[in-house]
Amino acid sequence: MSVGLPSWEKLIEHMEDELGLDRATADMPEPSYQALAEYYRLKHGSIGSLRSWMDREWSVSRKNVKGSAIHELIVSLDFPIIYTTNYDRNLEVAFELHDRPFVKVANAKDIAKVNGEATQIIKYHGDFDDDASLVLAESDYFERLSFDSPLDVKFRADALGRTILFIGYSMSDMNIRLLLYRLWETWRRSGYEKNRPKSFVFMPQPSVVQEAVLGRWGIDMLTEEADRPEDALVTFLSKLKDKIDQG
């Protein structure tokens, strides 16, 4: 949203309009966007038209991406691997604008393109260029809960011996929470939990509940005080870059 993307609320409103649902009289409790997307697929036979709308609506100008301090910092921090649940191409555009090499991975075929030099941008929930890769409807999320897809296998391998920094993830997303739990469980069962590299999650607002639960799973919470979440993230990433530059 910091570069002009619509909110999830706008996605929900569009699906309700397309499906002819009256928001004022919708069944309670309100369905999640995943459930709405599942209903959309049932009614239309596929999510192809929804994906096309999202692709158009979520197209951000290169100028906006170039002016994004968050994207510039992400590129300049030179992460070897970036996992994103976003479907859009803004990360790829940012790397292109700053003339930094990258390889996009959205499916099993793309994994073969990975090399040791370019930053890997892993489209963990899919990419607009490949409808089949999108994790959008409820059944898509349920299928991912088994964590045995090629991208899940890759994540477990990538994450096992590395420090991970989680940015911008909703800690209410059960896919993400189960992923974090299973990563901790793998180390715990190995008998070498004390040797696990530290991992971190950045959240714009502190939460004693999340801090305790995530801390149990070996993930430290980091926060910054700011009026807007994007300002907090810019401050955090800037401090991180300064620390790295100082060695």
Verdict on whether the full-model pTM lies above 0.85: yes
Of 220, 224, 219, 218, residue with least CA distance to 206: 224
- Regarding whether 143 and 126 lie in a shared domain, the answer is yes
- Regarding whether 89 and 168 lie in a shared domain, the answer is yes
- Regarding whether 166 and 122 lie in a shared domain, the answer is yes
Instruction: Give yes or no for a contact between 165 and 220, defined as CB atoms under 8 angstroms apart.
Output: no
**pLDDT value for 26:** 53
Distances (CA, A) of 89 to 7, 14, 143, 222: 16, 21, 24, 27
* Confidence class for position 199, pLDDT limits 50, 70, 90: very high
- Which is more confidently placed, 204 or 241? 241
pLDDT at 69 over 80: yes
Which amino acid, residue 188?
Answer: R
Q: Mean pLDDT, the chain, as a whole number?
A: 87
- Regarding whether 163 and 49 lie in a shared domain, the answer is no
Does some domain include residue 3?
Answer: no
pLDDT at 10 over 90: no
* Confidence class for position 20, pLDDT limits 50, 70, 90: confident
Does some domain include residue 94?
Answer: yes
In the chain, DSSP assigns E strands to 81-84, 102-105, 119-123, 165-167, 199-202, 219-222
Q: Hey, what are 126's tokens?
A: 């899919």
d(CA 34, CA 44): 15
**pLDDT value for 24:** 63
Rounding to the nearest 10 degrees, give the CA dihedral for residues 10, 231, 166, 133: 30
- Regarding whether 66 and 52 lie in a shared domain, the answer is no
**pLDDT value for 13:** 85
d(CA 140, CA 103): 24
* Domain stops at, among 17, 41, 57: 57
Helix %, strand %, coil % of the chain (to 5): 50, 10, 40
d(CA 107, CA 124): 9
- Regarding whether 173 and 71 lie in a shared domain, the answer is yes
- Regarding whether 88 and 14 lie in a shared domain, the answer is no
- Regarding whether 221 and 116 lie in a shared domain, the answer is yes
Residue numbers of the domain that contains 222: 62-245
Does some domain include residue 213?
Answer: yes
d(CA 105, CA 111): 6
**pLDDT value for 207:** 86
Pairing state between β 119-123 and 219-222: unpaired
Q: What letters, b where the CB count within 10 A reaches 16 and e where it falls short, cover 147-162?
A: bebebbebbeeebeee
- Regarding whether 233 and 166 lie in a shared domain, the answer is yes
* Confidence class for position 170, pLDDT limits 50, 70, 90: low
Domain count, the chain: 2
**pLDDT value for 60:** 81
Average pLDDT over residues 25-46: 78
- Regarding whether 236 and 187 lie in a shared domain, the answer is yes
**pLDDT value for 239:** 96
d(CA 29, CA 32): 9
pLDDT at 95 over 90: yes
**pLDDT value for 120:** 96
**pLDDT value for 23:** 66
Q: Hey, what are 97's tokens?
A: 């604008």
pLDDT at 159 over 90: no
pLDDT at 236 over 90: yes
Does some domain include residue 1?
Answer: no
d(CA 127, CA 188): 33
**pLDDT value for 30:** 65
